[in-house]
A and B are shown apart, each in its own frame.
Chain A
Amino acid sequence: MNEIKQSPRQDDVLVIGYGNTLRGDDGVGPRVAEAVGRMRLPHVRTLICPLLTPELADPISRADRVVFVDAAVDAPKDVQWRELKPNDTSQIMAHAADPRTMLALARDVFGHAPEAWWLTIPATDLGFSEEFSPTVWEHLDVAVRKIQDFCVKTGRN
């Protein structure tokens, strides 16, 4: 068994907003992360990406807490906040992964899986567009506030 060299810690909270900004509501994750980034909350870092890729496991492993922000077409009709545990699954796509797989990668490869949550915003329209549906507009501010509250409550301000 190889020794795992743990990466030095960087962030208290890492917010990862992911989704395709050209596919309507799928871009809500990046939009939420962008809004959180503009708040300049202390010890909070944001990452925006079209999809979760294996190399994100490195910054994830350096955080104490991670919030993944995503659009969800199969979720209940409100913003959901769920705790995540690392997956045991060995299934990984060539360049895209599930947040639980990312946590497993962070744990197995970089030596630390942080506490993590999955914030999902209900989405109804994933067609070709840079506009959001009314459903997303209705929940966007709620999602941002949830992250803000979480960072304020748990951060070392």
Chain B
Amino acid sequence: MSKRIVIDPVTRIEGHGKISIFLDEAGNVSDAEFHVVEFRGFEKFCEGRPYTEMPGITQRICGICPVSHTLASAKAGDALMAVNIPPAADKLRRLLNLGQFIQSHALSFFHLSAPDFLLGWDTPQPQRNVFGLIASNKDLARAGIRLRQFGQEIIETLGEKKIHPAWAVPGGVRSALTAAGRDKIRAWLPEAYATTETALALFKKTLEKHHRELQIFGNFPSLFMGLVAEDGTWEHHGGKLRFSDSSGSVIADQLDAQKYFEFIGESVQPSSYLKAPYYKPLGFPDGMYRVGPLARLNVCEQMGVPKADAELKKFKNMGHGKAGHGAVTSSFLYHYARLIEILACVEYVERYMDDPELLGDDLRADAGINQLRGVGVSEAPRGTLFHDYTVDHDGLLQKVNLIVATGQNNLAMNRTVAQIARHYIRGNEIPEPMLNRVEHGIRCYDPCLSCSTHAVGQMPLQVQLIGQGGAVLRSIVRG
């Protein structure tokens, strides 16, 4: 009789999801799925609202990614107005996004994922968390907390609030950086560099002990997508879309995000509220692609800043294919890519500190509705984020479509948990550390389920073995 193992909910991710692992009659894993089991409905209830409210409304989708949503939404507003925003406003939005990357990546690396690979997969669950990390390495834990604080300081300095800043608007931004704010940000830079470089060195050393994880934590061919500049430089807010494959070849470049629906299809699965986008020319599910740090580093040719560029070379040397020229295909290296992106962000922040334009006052373009459909695309820490709005002539929303990073990684996450489960799960006896490895496959992607769901309170782990007829054969609850 075939069986199903359910991990519900998955812990140390943003939101509420569960994993089902299907066993065949011999007790071997036949398949696995990651589900998002709660529904939020922003696409529907935003209908009828003025597009000008959307940067404020959509950032409430999430407490971790509010900046990503407000920026993508503001850009969709720019498109509806058909305006080019002032250069200072573009730079300020970029600075905000850099702060968002730093705070979110620091949270993912230090708080959510590092306890697994720094403390050890088999460390008892009560110690395998940020407090365990504190007990093991206080300096690192403190540095990680402060690195996130740095990112949030940037957000607060610009938007007056760390979370949900009402600052980016269609046409630009509400206010400039002040000289005092600039000096405050600048004072953080030496510490931010030191923390990031320490974490990079530590992670690379850790990799020496994690060959197995490197091989089986989501290591498979797929497409990768991200924004790049015209010359192929890493992008996070402007540029156009690029797809590359696992051989490292660019298969589509400089794609206009306004026409994303021509090359991205959206599939739905009956077992999840998470959509499953795919690259249309290859169809579903062959058009599976990954987004986020790993993808962005795979699709770009350079970071555009020296320290991160030096790390990017090392990263790319880990790629598959001839002479290391292929893409980096192991999702375990999302962590490495995340750290390289933090380094790049700190370098870009430093570059902005010497730019007087950020203190200027030409911050907003003004116009009415000039197009009835507008798409805003921006890189969120977890991957490319699309906001697609259709409005009437009064600017009231008729249709909203949001494509979030976690959805775009949906197919890859399913494949990752199946790959890990096949290595570690045998029959009914499943030790908790084995399940933690399966969960970590999801954590590599740093999914933000709050972008499509919402959860409060403690997150216990429940594992159920379910027979083919639906009867619960065995249940384990982890508090």
Contacts and interface: CB of A to CB of B under 8 A. Distances in A.
- Co-complex (A, B): yes
Given A50-B164, A108-B135, 6 more contacts: A2-B137, A50-B63, A50-B163, A55-B148, A94-B112, A105-B145
A100 to B, nearest CB: 13
Given A50-B163, A90-B132, A109 B458 contact: no
A108 B132 CA distance: 11
A54 interface: yes
A57 interface: yes
A154 interface: no
Given A55-B146, A90-B126, A94-B112, A2 B138 contact: yes
A49 B162 contact: yes
A57 B148 CA distance: 12
Interface of A: 1-2, 4-5, 22, 49-51, 53-55, 57-58, 90-95, 104-105, 108-110
Interface in B113-145: 126-127, 129-132, 134-135, 137-139, 141-142, 145
B63 A54 contact: no
B405 interface: no
Contact of A54 (B12, B137, B138, B148): B148
B149 A55 contact: yes
**10 residue pairs, one from A and one from B, having the closest CB atoms:** A55-B149, A90-B131, A2-B138, A109-B142, A2-B139, A108-B134, A54-B145, A55-B145, A55-B148, A50-B163
B110 to A, nearest CB: 9
Nearest to B164: A50
A95 B63 contact: yes
For chain B, give the interface size range: 20 to 34
Nearest to B141: A109
B413 interface: no
A55 B145 CA distance: 5
Contacts of B63: 50-51, 95
A94 B12 contact: yes
A95 B142 contact: no
A4 B138 contact: yes
Nearest to B14: A94
A57 B247 CA distance: 45
Contacts of B107: 94-95
B14 A109 contact: no
Nearest to A87: B131
Contacts of B163: 49-50
Contact of A94 (B13, B138, B139): B13
Contacts of B131: 90, 92, 104, 108
Interface of B: 12-14, 60, 63-64, 107, 111-112, 126-127, 129-132, 134-135, 137-139, 141-142, 145-146, 148-149, 152, 162-164, 458-459
Contacts of B12: 94
Contacts, number: 65
A33 B315 CA distance: 47
Contact of B129 (A22, A58, A90): A90
Nearest to A88: B131
Nearest to B147: A55
A108 B138 CA distance: 8
A129 to B, nearest CB: 14
Contacts of A95: 14, 63-64, 107, 111
A88 to B, nearest CB: 9
14 contacts: A2-B137, A2-B138, A50-B63, A50-B163, A53-B162, A55-B149, A58-B145, A90-B131, A91-B129, A95-B14, A95-B63, A95-B107, A95-B111, A109-B145
A94 B163 CA distance: 15
A109 B134 contact: yes
Given A93-B459, A94-B111, A110 B142 contact: yes
A155 B311 CA distance: 50
Contacts of B134: 105, 108-109
A90 B127 contact: yes
Contacts of A94: 12-14, 64, 107, 111-112
A50 B163 CA distance: 8
A49 B145 CA distance: 17
B138 A109 contact: yes
A104 B130 CA distance: 12
Nearest to A1: B138
Contacts of A108: 131, 134-135, 138
Contacts of B126: 90
Nearest to B448: A94
Contacts of A1: 138
Contacts of B132: 90
A48 to B, nearest CB: 8
Contacts of B145: 54-55, 57-58, 105, 109
A124 B131 CA distance: 34
Contacts of B137: 2
Nearest to B148: A55
A108 B38 CA distance: 36
A104 B134 CA distance: 11
